[in-house]
Each structure stands twice: as structure tokens, then as C-alpha cells.
Amino acid sequence: MPLNDEQNNDCDSSRSSESAASFSSDSDYSRQSFTSDASSKSTSPASTSPPKVVTFDEMMAAARNLSNLTLAHEIAVNENFHLECIEHPPNSLPGKVKQIVHQAFWDRLEEDLNEDPPEYEHAIKLFEEIKEILLSFLNPGANRMRSQICEVLDIDLIRQQAEHNAVDIQGLANYVISTMGKLCAPVRDDDVNQLKATGNIVALFRQIFHVLDLMTMDMANFTIQNLRPHLQRNLVEYERAKFQDILEEQPSALDLTTEWIRESIQDELSAVSCETPSSSGASGTCKPNLSPTSVLTNSYLKLLQWDYQKKTIPETLMTDEGRLQELSEKLNQLKIIACISLITSNTLAAATEGIPEFVEKQKSISFALLDGMNKKTFDLKEALNIIGIQTCSAINESLMERSFPPLSKEVETNLVGQLCSIVGEDNPISSLIDKRIHLYMKNLLASPCLQKARPPIPGGLAVIQTEIETIGTQYANIVNLNKQVYGPFYANILRKLLFGDAGMNKAELESSAH
């Protein structure tokens, strides 16, 4: 497609408005997790086989499968997923380069058409591309319009007319505009009508391609909308088959997943104080007091405290990495808010007793001041200090309205100090709230039917009940879908790590994994 001011050549690499980061990093995933070298860990701890040599073609095939799997998953689970062109800011380096190059292209076209006789080669190439775009909008049965477009925009005929200086550029452009009006979505009617008022032929070409870009994106999003119900009905089978293709191309494509489950086994063993050999030396002996269900549940819970900036997520969860990271960050914010509320209620119970709306007011203040707390540049201690000061101010205002004395400076200093201490790694209030959130999420995963009944909210979390129930439901939905898709792969890993290749049969393990 030609270069123009409005048009963005990055349209071919369109992104999701909700989850741009996940698609931009597909190639990173393939480099980190779908390559095999001497340092790669085998899915079987006892394996001594040399690593498989991966060819470039195999790696690219795996990357393509991952891209298709990621796109299908995003379309199916994200109701707001749609494509849009990337627009670089005008003052950015890419934006300036684009503007200069595009302007040079259109200046050259104008010079060609102003020659005596005019040079039509560039204009003919533009009509050729316009023709292909218009044809791409047609349904398979639109034979009459297809024939008409091919007849009017017959490139060989136009080139012959140009050789005799008899080509009607304006007439062809008018036909293109008319055809665009028939094919565009109603939302583009005004854009097409504005083309009719464009007098300069070069400016008209530029605007035609701009509107065609919009129509192309409309068509892509319309296709996605129609495809979504089909993908939702067949998502489990499709994702499982695609991942199996990846695994066949890249046998190391479960290394991170295996390590993720192995770490969960070690955590479970430590929790029950079981003196057994490390799981890295798995043998035919079953690990005591461990079940595949508890191990897999613990594995999923680890994702809520995952360091998404430094640690690569397991391969089987890459399609949901953005959602899991967002839920983890929201949960961390809710933990801080619950800590703030608990400390305040314990420290100033008497002062807040007569302020029924205080809890919600403090919660609103905390949400506002903790916005963006997961960014590296965010100063959590300073934010907690401000929350403490504003909390004391709100309480004092209420006390004065009821003719009570305000809080003493000593009490205010004590409250602010306790709130700031939340950032400490060993803070008892933070540890308590963390354990109760972990317990709620664990009970949520064990709940047989979320639609009928949710597990009770543990003490200290009442202030965030609505938010944590919403996050918990979203989290459980992600986990349940992931279990359905990757249950057979998890079963194979669990059989090797927990039982060697003996013990529970495949059907029992898959039932546990689901």
C-alpha cells in the first residue's frame, strides 16, 4: 500500500487495545521458552539423552503455532478484543520519519502527474492496489460486483490508455469512491462522502487510502466478532491441538511448566515437613501426603505472587500472562487497602465508631493514592504516609463536627507510623492479610460451582469483599479453562514427578488435573 500521512504501515502488526503487551512479546516467548540448548532441562529428571538440535524452520513453525494459539485464545476469552492501527506520536522519531517519507512519496506522484505529458505509472500502481483491496472486501458470492471492479479497474487497459494520454484519473477515482460507499460500514459513510469534496487528485489518493485502511480494520474486527462464538465452542480442543503441534516441533516447550510444578511439589513437601529425597531425583516412590490436585492448586496459587518482570511464566499459561499479571497487581493493591483498614480500625476504634461512612471514605482515598503502586517508580511508603495524614484529617473533621476533641499528635503519629510499616517484609498485619487472601483463593479453586456459592470471606477482608470476589471469579475462570486445555500435559508431568512412570494411571491423573 502506498505511503500517506494518515496511513500507518504498522497496520499489518495490529495490536489489541486491551492487551497490547501480550502480542508484542510473542517473539520473546519463542526465544525464551521454545528453544532447546545444552542448558535446557528435560521434562524427565532422570533423562540423560542429549538435547535435540532445533532447526530454524522448526523454531519458526513453533513460533507461528504460538502466535495462532495466542490470537485465538485472546479472541475467545476477551470480549473487548479488537484490532486497531498503531499511530506514532507526530513528534516521535518514528512519527517524523513516517511524515517525511510519506510526503516525499506524494510529492513525487504530484510531479509525475504535472509533467507534460503526465507520467501515470505510479498512479496506475495505486489503482492496482486499490483494486485488490476492494476485491478483498467482497463475499464469495458477490460475482457481479467482482466482475464490475475487474472491468473498470482493468490495469492492462488503464496502462494502454495512459500510453496514449487518454486515461481518466478523476473518473476512475470517482468510481472507486462510489464502490467504497457500497462496501463500507455505516460508520464510514461520512468519511466516504468527504472524499467527494476533495478536488486535488493527489490529496484524493491519500484520503482514499486512509479510508480504505479504516475499512480494512472494520472488516477484520467484523470477522473477529463473527469468529468468536465458534472459537469459544471449540477453544479447548483447538488450543490443546495447537500446543501439541508446538510440543512436536519443540520438545523443550514444557520445561518451564515442569519446573513450575516441581517447585510446587517442593513447597508442599516443606509444608508437611516430609523428609524425602528432593523431587529433582524422582524415583518410583510416591511422595508422601501429596496429591496431584493439591500440587496443581498450589502451582496456580504461586501465579498470584509471581514476579512477572523477572521470571518467565510457564509455557501453558503464556496466553493469559497479561490477565494474570493484572489480577496479581490488583490483588496486591487490595492487600494494602485491607491492611490500612485493619490497622485503622484497631488503632482508632473509638474515634471511628460514630462515623458510619468512614470505612468507605478511607477506602476511596486509599484506592486513589495507591493507583499505579505496581510501577517501579512508585513510592509506597510515601503514599501510605499521605493516606495516614488524610485519614487523621478526615477523623478530626468528623470529631469536631460532633464537638469532640481531635486526635492527639501522639495518636496521629502512631497511626501514620503503623501504616508506613506495612512495607516491611516481616510486617505481621501484612503477613496475616496475605495468608487470608491466599486461603480465600485456595478455597475458591476448590469450590465445585462458583455460580451457586462462593467460599466465605475470611476475617479482615470484609472491606474488600466485592473487589476480591470479582478478582477471584476472574482468576478461577482462567484456571478452570487452563485445566481443561492442558490437563493431559499436566497429568504426564505429575506422573513423572510424583510417581516416576508408575503409580496412578493416566485417567486418574487427568481427572486430578482437571
Written as nine digits, the cell of 227 is 469468529
- What is the CA angle 416-419-422, rounded to 5? 150
Nearest to 28 by CA among 56, 67, 61: 67
Would residue 76 be called left, alpha or beta, if left means φ above 0 and alpha means ψ between -120 and 50 degrees? alpha
- Say what the pLDDT of residue 490 is: 93
* Alpha carbons 416 and 422: distance in angstroms, whole number: 10
Cα→Cα distances 34→24, 245, 301, 311, Å: 17, 12, 24, 15
Q: What b-and-e string marks burial along 46-66, b requiring 16 or more CB atoms within 10 Å of the CB?
A: eeeeeeeebeeebbebbbebb
The predicted-structure confidence for 157-204, as pLDDT tens digits, reads as follows 999 988 888 888 889 999 999 999 999 888 899 999 888 888 788 888
The answer to whether the beta carbons of residues 105 and 2 sit under 8 Å apart is yes
The answer to whether the beta carbons of residues 444 and 472 sit under 8 Å apart is yes
Of the listed ranges 84-88, 199-203, 317-321, 325-329, the one predicted with least confidence: 84-88
- pTM of the predicted model over 0.75: no
Query: Which one-letter DSSP state was computed for residue 309?
Result: T
Q: H/E element holding 493?
A: helix 465-499
| Helix residue spans in 250-307 (DSSP H) | 255-271, 292-302
216 pLDDT higher than 80: yes
Q: So where are the chain's domains?
A: 9-245, 253-317+486-513, 322-478
- Say what the pLDDT of residue 175 is: 92
- What is the CA angle 12-15-19, rounded to 5? 165
Of the listed ranges 38-42, 63-67, 94-98, the one predicted with least confidence: 38-42
**E-state strands within 181-269:** none
Nearest to 173 by CA among 124, 214, 213: 124
Written as nine digits, the cell of 156 is 492492462
Q: H/E element holding 83?
A: strand 83-84
Cβ contacts of 461 within 8 Å, gap of 6 or more = 338, 433, 436, 437, 440, 468
- Say what the pLDDT of residue 227 is: 77
Tell me phi and psi for residue 99, to 5 degrees: -65, -45
- Say what the pLDDT of residue 347 is: 87
11 pLDDT higher than 90: no
The predicted-structure confidence for 233-244, as pLDDT tens digits, reads as follows 888 898 898 889
- Say what the pLDDT of residue 505 is: 53
Q: Report residue 121's pLDDT band, with 50, 70 and 90 as the boundaries.
A: confident
Tell me phi and psi for residue 249, to 5 degrees: -75, -35
| Helix residue spans in 78-200 (DSSP H) | 93-114, 121-136, 143-152, 155-163, 169-183, 189-196
Of the listed ranges 59-63, 436-440, 478-482, 484-488, the one predicted with least confidence: 59-63
Nearest to 45 by CA among 262, 256, 246, 274: 262
CA atoms within 13 A on the CB side of 362: 31
* Alpha carbons 189 and 207: distance in angstroms, whole number: 14
Count the residues in the chain. 514
CA atoms within 13 A on the CB side of 279: 27
Nearest to 104 by CA among 205, 3, 210, 208: 3
Nearest to 249 by CA among 179, 196, 164, 315: 315
* Alpha carbons 7 and 141: distance in angstroms, whole number: 30
* Alpha carbons 419 and 442: distance in angstroms, whole number: 27
Written as nine digits, the cell of 261 is 510444578
Of the listed ranges 7-16, 74-83, 366-375, 410-419, the one predicted with least confidence: 7-16
The answer to whether the beta carbons of residues 397 and 428 sit under 8 Å apart is no
- Say what the pLDDT of residue 303 is: 93
Written as nine digits, the cell of 193 is 462522502
* Alpha carbons 138 and 217: distance in angstroms, whole number: 14
Tell me phi and psi for residue 84, to 5 degrees: -155, 155
Would residue 250 be called left, alpha or beta, if left means φ above 0 and alpha means ψ between -120 and 50 degrees? beta
Reduced to 3 states, what is the DSSP secondary structure of residue 254?
helix
- What is the CA angle 510-512-513, rounded to 5? 60
Q: Tell me the one-letter amino acid at 362.
A: Q
Average pLDDT over residues 131-141: 89
The secondary structure of 45-61 as a DSSP string is TT--PPPPPPPHHHHHH
Average pLDDT over residues 34-49: 37
Q: Report residue 135's pLDDT band, with 50, 70 and 90 as the boundaries.
A: very high
* Alpha carbons 422 and 132: distance in angstroms, whole number: 62
147 pLDDT higher than 60: yes
Rg (CA), the chain: 31
